[in-house]
Amino acid sequence: MRAWLMGGCLALLLLGQQAAAQTLLVVGDSISAGFGLNTDQGWVTLLQQRLRKEGYAYKVVNASISGDTSAGGLARLPALLSGEKPGLVVIELGGNDGLRGQPPQQLQQNLASMVAASQQAGAKVLLLGMRLPPNYGERYTQAFVRAYEQVAQASQVPLVPFFLDGVGGVPQLMQADGIHPTAAAQPRLLENVWPQLKPML
């Protein structure tokens, strides 16, 4: 009888943990989609593994698409919020906006709209910032950086200033195209995100 009761309590505990699990939604581009990597090598997969290891009841949904822009992410977001009902949204977009020379003001507006929509849906938001190579010109690259800073400040959401910090521009951590990080770089990407993400869990 005692063993039966203990087994029942354990089952109820596990069910409670599953019910309490929230969804962490990552909306990004090829960096988060793991372009050029095996599906189990990307930083988003490493994030799910760390959450489980440290006892956080989160299911990670990776809604990242290679080549996506902030406009694309904004267009996709309502359906993702409705379908996944995330408790936390990580936005990693803008790199393709910059590489295509799109106006930083447009990037800022799109990111602000994504943050607002996520917050209205009841989700916390973490914004991952990007930077561009200096050959895009100081005026443009500085405006690009400010777009993230201004969104984070106005929306009062945490910001990782440069998601590729310690990775971008390091040849041994970048694929041959010089744009996408290698498998060896993925743990560093997670480490760049974790200090801002952990307090939000």
Domain assignment present for residue 14? The answer is no
Within a domain: residue 176? yes
Number of Cβ within a 10 Å radius of residue 119? 15
169 within domain boundaries? yes
> Taking the CA of residue 61 as centre, how many other CA atoms within 13 Å lie in the half-sphere pointing to its CB?
17
pLDDT the model gives residue 46: 98
When pLDDT is averaged across residues 188-193 and rounded to a whole number, the result is 98
| Angle (CA) 36 50 119, round 5° | 85
Residue 62 lies inside a defined structural domain of this protein: yes
Q: Say which CATH number the domain at 30 has.
A: 3.40.50.1110
Average pLDDT, the chain: 92
> Does 5 reside within a domain?
no
In a domain, 149, yes or no: yes
Domain presence at residue 3: no
- Alpha-helix runs per DSSP H in 21-94: 30-33, 43-53, 70-84
**pLDDT tens digits, 30-76:** 999 999 999 899 999 999 999 999 999 999 999 999 999 999 999 99
Cα distance between residue 36 and residue 138, in whole Å: 30
List, by residue number, the catalytic residues.
Answer: 30, 177, 180
Backbone angles phi, psi at 155, to 5 degrees: -95, -10
Residue 183 inside a domain? The answer is yes
Could you give the dihedral angle defined by the CA atoms of residues 173, 175, 181 and 187, in that order, rounded to the nearest 10 degrees? -50
Report whether 88 contacts 24 (CB < 8 A).
yes
Predicted local distance difference test score (pLDDT) of residue 21: 78
Number of domains in the chain: 1
CA 88 remoteness from chain centre: 10
Give the pTM. 0.90
The pLDDT assigned to 20 comes to 56
For 46, the domain range is: 20-200
For 140-153, the pLDDT digits (tens) are 999 999 999 999 99
Percent of the chain having pLDDT more than 70? Answer: 90
Number of H helices, E strands in the chain: 8, 5
